[in-house]
Structure 1
Amino acid sequence: MSDSPRALADLPYAEYLERRSALPECDDSADCALFDGVEATDLAVKGVRFTECAFDALRTTASSFQSSHFSEVWVHGSQFVSGTFADTSWQNSELVTSSFAGVEMHGVTFRRVVFHNCKFDSVNFRSARMRDVTFADCVLRDTDFGGASLERVSVTGSELAGIKLDHATLKDVDLRGATRLSIASGTERLGGAMITPLQLVELAPVFARALGVLVRD
């Protein structure tokens, strides 16, 4: 997948997309569908299988996508407020300039997913499973990764503010590209992550508190 965000026309399935005016209902499926400018509130989209679909300027509030599957999808300029993506699975997908606020994403599975210029505010990623995931130029604020499994996850040009890592498992996680790295809890779970010497210095007070070390002049 490209290091730069793709436009709609760049998608390999762009010419086959058919415009839809509404999201599918529970346990339905959507193949080669374009959801452009769709707005939904309190909608149930549970258990839906999306394959080679594009979402542009989608707006959802308090809607449920629980247990849905997203394969080869592209999400651009979209907003998700509250609601849930719990237990969803995503693979070979790209999300660009989109925001998630107060969204439940516990138990989500990401495989080969790239986030470009996305914002996550008070998002629950507890017990998530992420492998080969990139957060590029993103903001993750008060994001909870408690109990999550992160493998080959990288952060480039992104701000991580007040993230929680309690009981998380990290393997080959590259945090060196973070423009800010602030950990609210779970500092002891950073084993398996790579950080820079400067980040180590900045995190020193947090490590000291986690170890019960008192620093005095």
Structure 2
Amino acid sequence: MAKRTGTTAPRLDAVRLIDLTDGEESALEAHGSIEGLRLTDLDLSHRDLAGITVSESLLTEVTAHQTDFRAASFLDTRIERLNAPIFLTPRARLRDVEIDGSRIGSADSYDANWQSVHVSHSKLGFVNLRGAVLQDVLFTDCAIDELDLADATATRVSFVNCTLNSLDVTRAKLTDVDLRSLELRRIAGLEHLRGATMTSFQVAELAAMFAEQFGIRVQD
């Protein structure tokens, strides 16, 4: 069998929203479900929406500070201009989701499941995806302060025109994770980078961190 070469890009399914009905914020309830709605100018701050299912819908101009989306499901849905200083989505499921033009301060998304997710033109502070399962995830034109993938399983994850200050991949399982376009400043868990793709320039820039990680004394 021929050895596979190259890095496989994320396989994304475009979100196609047809014949949406204008909905009201009151339609959103914990453990409830909505489908085929267009919801605009929402302030969901501090609400309990745990276990909600949102499918085939468009959410625009959403404020969701400390909204509890624990174990929520977002399916075939587009979210535009989300503002969430604290975004709570632990154990949430995102499948065929687009998030665009958003600002998220701290995203608590541990043990989440992301499949076919595109995050674009957004500013993200601390993103906690510890223990999460990510498959076919693309970040485009994003500024990210910290991304925690410790204990996560990431397959076909890519960053295009993004900046990332700090990345933690401790005990992560990576397959086709493309870091080549990132401006990386710090990586924790260097020994678990197997399955990631980086440029020779990036590796050279991180030489000091590699040396420190493996106890190498560098003297000229």
User: Is TM more than 0.5 here?
Assistant: yes
Asked if residue 198 in structure 1 is aligned to residue 204 in structure 2, the reply is: no
User: Would you identify which runs of 4 or more consecutive aligned residues in structure 1 move more than 3 Å?
Assistant: none
Instruction: Tell me, in whole angstroms, the C-alpha distance in 1 between the residues paired with 2:187 and 2:32.
Output: 39
User: Are 1:81 and 2:81 an aligned pair?
Assistant: no
Aligned residues: 208
**Whole-Å separation in 2 of the counterparts to 1:169 and 1:185:** 14
- Alignment partner of 1:54 out of 41, 51, 58: 58
Q: Is the 8 A contact 1:120 1:143 kept in 2?
A: no
Q: Offset at 1:23? A: 5.6
Distance change >3 Å, CA 15–CA 69, structure 1 → 2:
same
Match of 1:90 in 2: 94
One-letter amino acid matched to 1:54? L
Deviates more, 1:96-105 or 1:124-133: 96-105
Q: SS where residue 100 of structure 1 aligns?
A: strand
Which range moves more in the overlay, 16-25 or 26-35? 16-25
Q: Secondary structure at the match of 1:200?
A: helix
Higher relative contact order (CA 8 A, sep 6+): 2
**Following the alignment from structure 1 to structure 2, what is the Cα–Cα distance between the partners of residues 43 and 50?**
15
2:8 alignment counterpart: none
Select which of 67, 74, 77 maps to 1:70: 74
Q: Distance in 1 between matches of 2:206 and 2:170?
A: 16
Residue identity (%): 23
Cross-structure match for 1:125: 129
**In structure 2, what is the equivalent of residue 34 of structure 1?**
38
RMSD across aligned C-alpha pairs, in angstroms?
Answer: 1.7
Residue aligned with 1:188, SS: helix
CA contact (8 A) 1:53 1:73 kept: yes
The equivalent residue for 2:7 is none
Aligned pair 1:45/2:49, yes or no? yes
1:21 deviates by: 2.9
Structure 1's unaligned 5+ residue stretches are none
- Per-residue Cα deviation, 1:131-150 (whole angstroms, up to 9, x for no partner): 11111111221221111111
Consecutive unaligned residues in structure 2, runs of 5 or more: 1-10
